[in-house]
Each structure stands twice: as structure tokens, then as C-alpha cells.
Amino acid sequence: MGADLLDFSGQVVLVTGGGTGIGAAVARGFAACGAQVVVHYNRSREAAEKVVAAIVEAGGNASSVSADLTQPGAADTLVDGVVAQHGRLDVLVNNAGDLLRRTPTTEMTDEQFASVLNLNMTSVFAMCRRVVPVMRGQGGGAIVNVTSIAARTGGAGGSVVYATSKGAVSTFTHGLAKEVAPDGIRVNAISPGVISTPFHERHTSEPMMDAMVATIPMGRTGLPEECVGATLFLASPAMSGYITGQVLEINGGQLTP
């Protein structure tokens, strides 16, 4: 009975930004539960192909697909391609996003501001706008967005606009969930705290990381794999069929509702 609750056999799952970090771990998790996983990437082609190869080697089913979700029409093309290839799309995990670089608000250009919002929020909106009609036509589906602890804290140094974009993702999750609930589509989000991923390798200095870890009651950063269970839970109708519009915090106790 327990295994059936996380059985995604016959389901098609699209994970954006699935080549590294949380996205890669989530892609592997869905594949281990029987899903046909589509691993989206933009620049991380080699990493995405390694994720696919690992899934296939373990007996799962996966493929990779490239798209720059900051470009107009890219989300439509991506979703349409997945549906054309697999005939359906049951779960969308909107994981793609980035800080780009830490910049104080007074030093951020209009172009940087637009880039951060476009990558983290506009892409989520565009993916959902195209996926909802697909899922509606199938009789339902699940969307899991990836927001951030920064959405509630305002972010660490030089990440105010990133935090703002993630706050928008959380609000969008709450609102879209109510809008599409009558269609049998559930929309939730996970909100990771400080997770050991390439994100922090790019953007967080050692002193800044030490300061953040000092605020975590569990005394350590999280692992990408520790975000998988929550994502599978929110995507599973058997596990969370009466849950929608929620943001699930994964932060080692750093921030509690």
C-alpha cells in the first residue's frame, strides 16, 4: 500500500532546470517512482545528459530537452514538444531559476532587474499558462513550483530582487491553485532554505555561508535529495489529493511559519 502512494508509473513529469541541484535530485526521485521524466536544461547540457544516463542505467525512463525559458514563446514550444513526444504531461516541476549575481538594489540596472524577474517569475507564469490547458484536457494534473526561503526573509546580501521574484512565485502559487482547482489541477510549492547546490557555489562566499548556517537549528545546510520527498508528496494525488495552494518549507528550522 505504501509504495502505491508514490507510484508515478505511466505519468510524464517535466522538471525545468533538471540538470543540477534540486532539479536533478527531483528528476531522479520521480524516475525511481516509475515516471517518464523529461529533464529540461538551458546551459547545463552535459549535466542534464548525465542525469538522464544515470536514470536509464538504474532502469528508469528519461530524456532531456533544451529551452531558454527567458525567451518569448520558449515555454509554449517546450510544453508542446513534450506533449507531442509523450502524449500527455501529468506533473510540472517549475525549478528553473537563479540569482544571476548578488547586486545591491541601488547598483542594479533595469536590465538586471528584468533578467531576474524574467528568469524566476515570468518563466513560471509562462510554463503554467501553457500547461494548464493541457492538464485541463487530461482531467487534472499537478504543478509544483520552487520558491525560496528568501521569499519570506527578503534574502541575504545583494539578493533583494531575487527574493522579490520568489515572493511572486509563492503568491502566484496561492492564486493559481484557486483558479484551477475546479479543473482537477493542484498547484503547490516547495520553499528550500540553504541547500548545498551549485547556486551557492556561484553566489555565496564562505563567510556568508557560515553566517547562514549559524541561524539554522539543525546546524547544517540541506541536501538536494532532502527536497525530493516533499516534491513527490505534493505531486502525488494519493498522498496530497486535498492539498493545493500551499508552500512547504524545507529549511532545517531556520524559518518556521
**What residue ranges do the domains of the chain occupy?**
3-249
pLDDT tens for the chain, 257 residues long, are 455 789 999 999 999 999 999 999 999 999 999 999 999 999 889 999 999 999 999 999 999 999 999 999 999 999 999 999 999 999 999 999 988 888 999 999 999 999 999 999 999 999 999 999 999 999 999 999 999 999 999 988 888 999 999 999 999 999 999 999 999 999 999 999 999 877 667 767 788 878 888 999 999 999 999 999 999 999 999 999 999 999 999 999 999 87
**214 burial level (CB within 10 Å; 0-12, 13-18, 19+):** exposed
CB 217 within 8 A of CB 159: no
CA distance 64 to 15: 10
Identify the CATH assignment for 3-249 out of 1.10.260.30, 3.40.50.720, 3.40.920.10, 1.10.1040.50: 3.40.50.720
Please give the pLDDT value at position 1.
44
End-to-end alpha carbon distance in the chain: 32
Output the CA torsion 116→167→246→66 (10° steps): 0
Instruction: List, by residue number, the catalytic residues.
Output: 162
Please give the pLDDT value at position 108.
93
Taking CA atoms, 182 is separated from 92, 134, 179, in Å, by: 18, 14, 7
CA distance 177 to 35: 23
**Cα dihedral sign, 68-69-71-75:** positive
Backbone angles phi, psi at 29, to 5 degrees: -65, -45
Please give the pLDDT value at position 4.
79
- Model pTM score: 0.94
Please give the pLDDT value at position 207.
81
Q: Is 73 helix (H, G, I), strand (E, B) or coil?
A: coil
